[in-house]
Amino acid sequence: MKGIEQELDIWRQHRHPYILPLIGIYLRQGFPCAVSPWCDSGTITQYMKSARGGSEPELEGPVTNCDFDLLRLHCLEMKLLAQVAAGLAYLHAHNFAHGDIKASNILVKGGVAQLGDFGFSIIAADRSSNTSSHLGTARWFAPESLREHAHRTQEADMWALGCVILEMRTLLVPYHRVPDAAVPLAILKDRPFERPSDVHPSLWSMAEACWSRSPKTRIASPTLAGRIKITLEYATLLRETLGALPNVRSLSLGYPNSNSTARFSLASVVLKRDTDTSLDLTLAVATARNALRALEAPGKRYRPAALRPIIRLISRTDPRLAEQLTLNLPSPVILGSPLRGHPYSVHSVVFLPDSRRLVSSSIDQTVRIWDIETGDTVIGPLRGHGRNVAVHGSHIASGSYDGSFRIWDADSGALRLGPIAAHNGKGLNFIAYSRNGTRIATAGDDTRAVLWDANTGVALHEMVGHTAPVLCVAFSGDGARLVSGSQDNTLRIWDITSGNCIGEPLTGHTDSVRVVCFSPDAKRVFSASDDSTIRIWDAEMRKLIIEPLRMNSRVLCMALSPDGKRLVSGSFNGKIAMRDAETGVGILTPFNDHKAAVWGTAFSPDGRKIASTSDDKTIALWDATNDWKRYDYRRRLGGSKNDD
């Protein structure tokens, strides 16, 4: 009785977040009983079983056999083990040995693990108790605990903690295939567990460090606690980084079997010191490399900015590899690109106002609405038109080779208006909305630009003056003027109210004018031509502001960013180029070339994305921000979230 009271007194004296507190003591049939808080998640193995099934909030859903779920499970295991190791290190620092470390003596409440059942705890220096009956539970015995006159020791606690590591993963007790009577012999010959196929190298190496046959070389609790903390830090970084990626559960990360198992031998673990973190970094880097391989696989392209934490992680042990990755991987191509679905050349593209969907048209005579996050066609194909498309709010205007246009509902795909016959049955080359959505302008093979009421489809003005087919039109931001470009190599600016041409045509191009647009303030006009130039005009003075911007091929399309600062163009040779819209100076951006002529380019309304269409039947998506450049792998772990 005196011994029990002593153990309870020891328990009562020590307060620690990861040690189950003793609330009080009462006598039951003459025996003292301890009272502790109720732990609703039960033992650590009961909790892990429940978490795997998705019943515990800390794991955020059930665990499957996919690599990412195994990573999530690994992070939870490391979190709980970090708590257990910290609690045990506290006891050892106060010169105590627990004496009965096992999973059933570790309870969980609110996702926090706490050491309990101090019935065998002793002051480590006290050798008065030397009978094996008080050395703990047999299956968790260290080999030296079987010797005559053995004592309960901190080293024996570490052996048992190694058993707990595998109990959490397997939900089995040590030597689970061995009958009770044969357990002592098994302890002298074998490890408590065979290595499971799904255990991560870090967990197995920690268990091995606890199972050294020599107590003197067995890992100490503070060392193990530090190693678990480091491993948890990097595993959590990987989980958070990869968890933000769509379709992450379909990635093969080579997890948990990285090719670095050889580095996790018992000898290498034992020889590591607290200040040496390279062991856990090697593990994390191996997983990160596998992650990068998976992320570069065909059909699984991700924004490079999202990979920066992995690059940063690799740089901690392999700066040269990290720098190589920063040189080879950066590209503005973004998730899901390219979009595929049209069986023939994709002619034009425009974003919807939410910047999450876009509309495309093709010479297959269809219009499609895409979700750029999933890469799926969400509405369509809408059949009948395949020339040019324009958008205002939830309205889509599409033009056709037969000279007609239609208005569609962007949310349902329903036809709202049309078909409206235009241009005397000749081809309709371009269609555009005014900023307020009340007017539509079309360009046709009949050498005319026509202004329409967008709600009724009634023609308001025919702009007559070009001497060859009109290829493009664009409204000024205030809706007062319209600019057109033609195969007659000229531009004309028209008054919307009267339908009259304002002044003389703008001349200088030596081939067809393919696309035109106003700057947001309507002071400048941009034109792109088959003569392989882009020209920037003063809309009032009607002359060039700077020398023509010379390209390497016919310029087939062009788009101005919403703020008017950047100009993106596409050419017949499949190349896309970005320029400063004020100066015309090129902005170095490594766009991957399309495999054929680029017929359409568009900025998203928020200015953060660019889409391009091509004869190669694809729609490419590009990051229009500088985020794709920002690996910054030299930044230390734990940098500001604003840096991402």
Q: Which tokens go with 570? A: 């596409």
CATH of domain 339-628: 2.130.10.10
Which residue carries 């079987």 as its tokens? 146
Render pLDDT for 350-367 as a digit per residue (tens, 0 to 9). Answer: 999 999 899 999 988 899
* DSSP 8-state assignment for residue 335: T
Question: Strand pairing of 609-614 and 598-603?
Answer: antiparallel
| Rounded mean pLDDT, 308-323 | 63
Helix (H) or strand (E) holding 459: strand 459-464
* DSSP 8-state assignment for residue 220: P
| Rounded mean pLDDT, 290-295 | 50
Burial of 370 (0-12, 13-18, 19+ CB in 10 A): buried
So what's the pLDDT on residue 424? Answer: 87
Residue 23 has pLDDT above 80, yes or no: no
- Distance CA(504)–CA(241), nearest Å, equals 58
Domain boundaries, the chain: 2-235, 339-628
**Of 481 and 300, more confident:** 481
Residue 564 pLDDT class (50, 70, 90 cuts) = very high
Burial of 343 (0-12, 13-18, 19+ CB in 10 A): exposed
For residues 601 and 612, the answer to whether their CB atoms sit within 8 Å is: yes
Question: Strand pairing of 566-571 and 576-580?
Answer: antiparallel
Which residue carries 């792109």 as its tokens? 528
Helix (H) or strand (E) holding 188: helix 183-189
Q: How far is CA 223 from the centre of its chain?
A: 34
For residues 359 and 396, the answer to whether their CB atoms sit within 8 Å is: yes
Render pLDDT for 195-228 as a digit per residue (tens, 0 to 9). Answer: 988 787 778 889 999 999 999 999 999 999 988 8
Is the torsion defined by CA of 341, 342, 348, 350 positive or negative? negative
Which residue carries 């890992």 as its tokens? 219
Torsion of CA 476, 482, 487, 488, to 10 degrees: -120
| Rounded mean pLDDT, 270-280 | 37
Which residue carries 């002619």 as its tokens? 347
**Of 509 and 151, more confident:** 509
Q: What percent of the chain has pLDDT over 70?
A: 77
Please calculate the CA angle 582-583-588 and round it to the nearest 5 degrees. 105
So what's the pLDDT on residue 135? Answer: 46
Closest CA to 466 of 490, 450, 442, 483: 490
So what's the pLDDT on residue 529? Answer: 96
Render pLDDT for 414-423 as a digit per residue (tens, 0 to 9). Answer: 999 989 999 9
Phi, then psi, of 94 in degrees rounded to 5: -95, 20
Torsion of CA 487, 491, 496, 497, to 10 degrees: -110
**Amino acid (1-letter code) at residue 285:** V
For residues 158 and 207, the answer to whether their CB atoms sit within 8 Å is: no
Residue 125 pLDDT class (50, 70, 90 cuts) = very low
Closest CA to 457 of 418, 508, 403: 418
Residue 430 has pLDDT above 50, yes or no: yes
DSSP alpha helices (H): ranges in 423-553? none
Residue 343 has pLDDT above 70, yes or no: yes
- Distance CA(36)–CA(22), nearest Å, equals 5
Instruction: Count Cβ atoms below 10 Å from residue 3 Cβ, excluding itself.
Output: 11
Q: Which long-range contacts (CB under 8 A, 24 or more apart) does 55-59 make?
A: 56/111, 57/111, 58/111
Q: Which tokens go with 454? A: 């967008």
Residue 108 pLDDT class (50, 70, 90 cuts) = very high
**3-class SS letters over 136-191:** CCHHHCCHHHHCCCCCCCHHHHHHHHHHHHHHHHHCCCCCCCCCHHHHHHHHHHCC
- Distance CA(464)–CA(479), nearest Å, equals 19
DSSP-based three-state secondary structure for 60: coil
Residue 85 pLDDT class (50, 70, 90 cuts) = very high
Residue 335 has pLDDT above 70, yes or no: no
**Amino acid (1-letter code) at residue 451:** L
**Of 357 and 337, more confident:** 357
Residue 59 pLDDT class (50, 70, 90 cuts) = confident
**Class of CATH domain 2-235:** mainly alpha
Residue 132 has pLDDT above 50, yes or no: no
Torsion of CA 429, 623, 587, 511, to 10 degrees: -10
So what's the pLDDT on residue 4? Answer: 58
So what's the pLDDT on residue 308? Answer: 61
So what's the pLDDT on residue 233? Answer: 78
Instruction: Count Cβ atoms below 10 Å from residue 327 Cβ, excluding itself.
Output: 8
Closest CA to 468 of 453, 485, 482, 483: 485
Residue 411 has pLDDT above 50, yes or no: yes
Q: Which of 261-265, 327-331, 578-582 has the lowest mean pLDDT?
A: 261-265
Distinct helix (H) and strand (E) counts, the chain: 11, 33
Residue 261 pLDDT class (50, 70, 90 cuts) = very low
Instruction: Count Cβ atoms below 10 Å from residue 384 Cβ, excluding itself.
Output: 17
For residues 401 and 383, the answer to whether their CB atoms sit within 8 Å is: no
Residue 632 has pLDDT above 70, yes or no: no
Q: Buried (b) or exposed (e) across 156-169, using 16+ Cβ within 10 A?
A: bbbbbbbbbbbbbb
Distances (CA, A) of 268 to 174, 234, 278, 353, 561: 24, 20, 11, 58, 57
Render pLDDT for 436-466 as a digit per residue (tens, 0 to 9). Answer: 999 999 999 999 999 999 999 999 999 999 9
So what's the pLDDT on residue 99? Answer: 86
What's the whole-number average pLDDT of the chain?
81
